[in-house]
Amino acid sequence: MPTESKVDVLVLGAGPAGLMCAQGLKRAGVNVRIIDKRPKKVAAGQADGVQPRTIEVLQAFYNPSPNGGIERTGRTADITAPSARYPFEVTLHQGAIEAIFLDSMRELGLEVDRPIIPTALELSHDENELRDPQSYPVKVTLKHLDFGSEGQDDTEIVYAKFVVGADGAHSWVRKTLGIIMDGEQTDYIWGVVDLIPSTNFPDIRNRCAIHSSNGSCMIIPREGDKVRLYIQLSDKDVVVDKATGRVDKEKTKVGPEELLEVARKSFSPFTIEKAGEIDWWTIYLIGQRVAQKFSVHERVFIAGDACHTHSPKAGQGMNASMNDTHNLIWKMTYVLRGWADISLLRTYEFERRKYAQDLIAFDKKFSALFSGKPRTEECQDGVSHEAFLEAFQTFGAFSCGIGIHYSPSSIPSMPNITELKHQSLTSHQTVGMRILPHVFVRAADARPFEIQDLLPANTKWKLVVFVGDIGPGKIKQIERVAKLADDLGKSTGLLKRYEDGVFEILTICATVKECLNYTDLPEVLRPHWSRVLLDDVDMFGRTGGKGYDIYGVDPSQGAIIVVRPDGYVGTVTPLEGVKDLETYFDTFLIRTL
């Protein structure tokens, strides 16, 4: 007889999206299990682009030279978004990135169960059971691939409240649920090689876009002395399986040496050779697709490559995948804790599918420019350097993740006006986008702190209260702040309306450090001595100040910025807007009063 077990959340797939999901849920106290078919973690290659080593911040462009070969035609900052806290990219192969999650999970007492594959998935049709977040409506049959003893049953049945399919572009979960991918396979064929190069190419440690008469190439500096080369191939170089739309590697005669030979032609007049063994390589066709839906009955979800595929050259694959489950973690946690209605989970598809569609639209334009022929005297219809540079800079905020904007009213029962009603109070901080970075000074000890570091993804909602200037003589503003504290802290107020632990308060004063003590604030607005900040410079005048200008807040008015557990701004209200806050949270949080 197969063994049986129950779990709150079963995660299928231990790539970056699945590991992000399992680690975040475990840290939130959720009973979670994660399985993977691989017997061990990725050793090299695949995705990269998170940490720990930064690469240079220049983006270099090379195009055909009139004298033959290629020449550098321009340089620009790799990260062009002005509000980027970290104005650079970082790279590390996927196996090392996964190891960071695995180590963190191990500290929490969670390991990946492997090698295991799912063989069946059944979802209850009982509507009452589906509506009850504490039920176990999903039955998943698992097969253990390493069961050694003959006669032992290698089958296991798991009953789960929720299932997350983070099992890649050829997702078993997606196919089992019958979810269709909308989009198309392009004609763009690319090879990828990770190696330590021996070269006289001067920009080998910069991210480079090369357009040559032989095809295009992209250089991504990697950890240590490694680089990754993306190399454009022609359709005569590879054999495509028409049934699957994938490269048939058995019939294709192109290997890593052949890829390097194509790269040599693209690099001319510069030279490039390998200094040692090639670390990893692959060949792929660019597919640009989005799943028609990201969940079934808000009980089984798909994330990452399972629900969107695109080219890797914009550096979005792994980042988009991890942000999928980052969006889902807190919502699932709230539902499991009984803090939020299960309808909150609908917002996962609303927000992340819209982002995926925007990503595909961006990728189509970027891939067409990158894969197109360069403009030369013989090819006037080709891609010009100016057109490629314009696209790179136009999409800069989106490609680095800063420009993600979740549309308002993603919660079905919420009227449109609620979230955006007071947007004018924070003219530079857009509702639906991530909280802007800025350095403030802590009132208690004048130490500078980056606000994003004080708003961790700990499943709590943050009420960032810009109280304005409440220094000496500011009687009217002091009275407004006192009234806000009373409204928040009364027995029927916002802070008592829902489960304890939903909210954290961070107060920011437009008063200089010489004129305010943190104890001048009402207790509700200083829950801990470390939670009061000043919009002032540090003791040496090196950092901080002008924060109210950064967020577009009038110091004479103030504002409350509501930051979601995933770091995005949910809504904005005036100091007198506690009723608006209650209306906002009542649409998805479960009241205790």
Q: Is the dihedral of CA 381, 383, 389, 391 positive or negative?
A: positive
Active site residue 312: yes
Query: How far apart (Å, rounded) are the C-alpha atoms in residues 299 and 160?
Result: 9
Strand ranges, E, within 297-350: 300-302, 308-309
Query: How far apart (Å, rounded) are the C-alpha atoms in residues 276 and 344?
Result: 52
Active site residue 498: no
Active site residue 408: no
Backbone angles phi, psi at 460, to 5 degrees: -100, 145
Catalytic residue among 27, 33, 174, 222: 222
Active site residue 230: yes
Tokens 């004609």 — which residue?
A: 187
Cis bond upstream, residue 412 (ω within 30): no
Tokens 């990728």 — which residue?
A: 363
Catalytic residue among 188, 230, 548, 584: 230
Q: Which residues of 267-296 are buried (b: 16+ CB within 10 A; e: fewer)?
A: beebebebeeeebbbebbbbbbbbbeebbb
The long-range contacts involving 180-183, CB below 8 angstroms and separated by at least 24 positions, are: 180/291, 180/292, 181/289, 181/290, 181/291, 181/292, 181/309, 182/289, 182/290, 182/291, 182/292, 183/287, 183/288, 183/289, 183/290, 183/309, 183/360
CA 49, 455, 97: angle at the middle one, nearest 5? 20
CB 583 within 8 A of CB 571: no
Tokens 């079934």 — which residue?
A: 296
Catalytic residue among 64, 312, 448, 565: 312
Catalytic residue among 8, 36, 48, 305: 48
Query: How far apart (Å, rounded) are the C-alpha atoms in residues 297 and 300?
Result: 7
Query: How far apart (Å, rounded) are the C-alpha atoms in residues 218 and 49?
Result: 14
Q: Indicate the SS3 state at residue 105.
A: helix
- Tokens representing 566 are 């995933």
Q: How many CB atoms lie within 10 A of CB 515?
A: 16
3-state secondary structure 452-503: HHHCCCCCCEEEEEEEECCCCCCHHHHHHHHHHHHHHHCCCCHHHHCCCCCE
Q: Any alpha helices (H) in 86-198, and if so which ranges?
A: 94-107, 127-131, 172-177
Provide the greatest CA pair distance for the chain.
Answer: 84
Report in angstroms the alpha-carbon separations of 306 from 17, 319, 347, 353.
10, 14, 18, 12
Tokens 């055909």 — which residue?
A: 64
Nearest to 575, CA basis, from 478, 438, 495, 502: 478
Strand ranges, E, within 55-100: 58-64, 70-77, 90-93
Q: Indicate the SS3 state at residue 430.
A: coil
Query: How far apart (Å, rounded) are the C-alpha atoms in residues 562 and 334?
Result: 17
Q: What is the DSSP track for 252-275?
A: ----HHHHHHHHHHHHTTS-EEES
Query: How far apart (Å, rounded) are the C-alpha atoms in residues 334 and 347?
Result: 13
- Tokens representing 65 are 């030279």
Residues labelled catalytic = 48, 222, 230, 312
